[in-house]
């Protein structure tokens, strides 16, 4: 089944590689990855194929990672649909943060 993780994390060096490593440790191949800076934080969207138990176990692991503020898990949404939804609801970013 397809799962999309929407992770809000601190915008700091090495946060993204640490998160990607968590997926690698669970032997999950990332199907898509999208990163956006939003007001001193990063919104990271990662899509994978996994069974329900693995997906929820990974969410728990992500919840406990340093610099992670929030993790939302959505089942069955294709990456393109998830990206379209985020673009409709995204708060404008201050260009100086980029």
What CATH number did the domain enclosing 75 receive?
A: 3.30.70.260
State the pTM of this model.
0.77
Q: How far apart are CA 91 and CA 41, in angstroms?
A: 12
Sheet containing strand 68-75, strands side by side: 30-38, 41-49, 2-10, 68-75
Domain count, the chain: 1
Residue 71 covered by a domain: yes
Cα–Cα distance, 8 to 41 (Å, whole number): 7
In a domain, 66, yes or no: yes
| pLDDT tens sequence across 33-44 | 999 998 889 999
Burial environment of residue 85 by CB neighbours within 10 A (0 to 12, 13 to 18, 19 or more)? middle
Question: Is residue 65 domain-resident?
Answer: yes
pLDDT per position as a tens digit, 1-36: 999 999 999 999 999 999 999 999 999 999 999 999
Q: What is the DSSP letter of 39?
A: T
| pLDDT of 98 above 50 | no
Residues of the domain holding 20: 2-79
pLDDT tier for residue 65 given thresholds of 50, 70 and 90: very high
**Residue 72 near residue 85 (C-beta atoms within 8 A):** no
In a domain, 12, yes or no: yes
* 94 domain-assigned: no
pLDDT in the model for residue 95: 31
Does residue 24 sit within a domain?
A: yes
- The verdict on residue 69 lying in a domain is yes
């Amino acid at each position: 089944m397809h799962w999309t993780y929407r992770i809000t994390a601190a915008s700091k060096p090495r946060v993204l590689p640490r998160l990607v490593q968590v997926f690698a440790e669970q032997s999950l191949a990332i199907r898509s990855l999208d990163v956006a800076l939003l007001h001193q934080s990063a919104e990271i969207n990662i899509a994978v194929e996994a069974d329900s138990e693995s997906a929820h176990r990974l969410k728990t692991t992500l919840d406990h990672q340093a610099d992670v503020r929030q993790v939302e898990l959505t089942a069955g949404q294709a990456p393109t649909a998830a990206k379209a939804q985020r673009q409709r609801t995204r708060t404008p970013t201050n260009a100086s943060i980029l």
